[in-house]
Amino acid sequence: MHRLQLVSDRVGRWFPLIVIVAGAVALAAPGVFRGWAPAIPWLLALIMLGMGMTLRPVDFAYVARRPVAFLIGIASQFVIMPVIGWLLATTLPMSPELAVGVILVACAPGGTASNVMVYLARGDTALSVAMTSVSTLLAPLVTPLLVLLLAGRFLPVQPGALFVSILQVVLVPVLLGFLLRRFAEPQVERALPALPLVSVVGITAVVMAVVAGSATALLTSGLVIVVAVVLHNVLGLGLGYVVARLCGLDESARRAIGIEVGMQNSGLSATLATAHFNPIAALPAAVFSVWHNVSGSILAGYWARRPVTRAAERRDLTRD
């Protein structure tokens, strides 16, 4: 198990590069990986099962301990990113399929990698975990409604079908993983070191399937997609932090909310795009899954060199 932990740690550290290389391979030989598309929902369900297995009841206690910070974070998650996504979809020159794909990313809950980034950034990890967990549990209701509101002008949206898909590939696996941790904890504890490796393999396979299925569109519209994704992510990271600061939260909470807002569950976005719209609509999610790990790592590294001290927090709060 120690060796498996080392492998998982190394794979997690090189995750952005692994996904970039995998996407390039899929782009070079799309015919080899195009048939993987039906496996995308199952891969996401497996990743969500792993997320559920990492959860404990104490992770939700944060909501009661610091409800203001939590509510600010959740509201920011489901307001800032959807608004930015809609603005980008309506202002940048992109097809309706790509516009829907950007909005799907915008309306997704927080991504699981954000918890690691917040920890490395010396942010409030408990707040990060609570935001990821609760936004994921809210996704079956909130995400379809937001997609209907923001993406209906581009393509027909069936919120009921989105609701069912999110239940199947997100909520049910997460709850099952949580129950496994609750009632079979010794066995689950032994499996925990392998979960980062499973997540990396799963997301990499999703990216390869999406890139292979939309290789032509990526070659013709790649620049627009990259611009939209980078702007979306960077603005989300920055505005999440700024909103938390304006609300008077301490530095560790600001870092957590900034990262949580900027990092989305791109696997869910790709799954919904492939199942309910068009494979092209999954491209923004595939690019986002690479970029937000790169930007998150850079930001976490920057903040890691600037420890949060009580004196610094007092100065920040006084200045605010």
pLDDT in tens, 70-114: 999 999 999 999 999 999 999 999 999 999 999 999 999 988 778
Is this structure's pTM higher than 0.75?
Answer: yes
Q: What angle do CA 240, 103, 141 make, to 5 degrees?
A: 85
Taking only the tens place, the pLDDT of each residue in 31-83 is 888 888 888 888 888 888 887 887 788 777 878 888 999 999 999 999 999 99
At residue 125, the 3 state secondary structure works out as helix
Q: What is the architecture of the domain spanning 35-308?
A: Up-down Bundle (1.20)
The count of other CB atoms within 10 Å of the CB of residue 180 is 16
Query: Residue 47: which H helix or E strand, with range?
Result: helix 40-54
Compute and round to an integer the Cα radius of gyration of the chain. Answer: 19
Q: Does pLDDT of 8 surpass 70?
A: no
Q: Which of 91, 52, 64, 30 is nearest to 232 (CA)?
A: 91
CB within 8 Å of 257: residues ≥ 6 apart: 69, 72, 73, 76, 127, 131, 240, 241, 243, 244, 249
pLDDT class for 311, splitting at 50, 70, 90? very low
Q: Which two tokens stand for residue 287?
A: 């690019």
What's the confidence (pLDDT) of residue 83? 96
Q: Which of 98, 165, 167, 108 is nearest to 142 (CA)?
A: 108
Q: Does pLDDT of 230 surpass 60?
A: yes
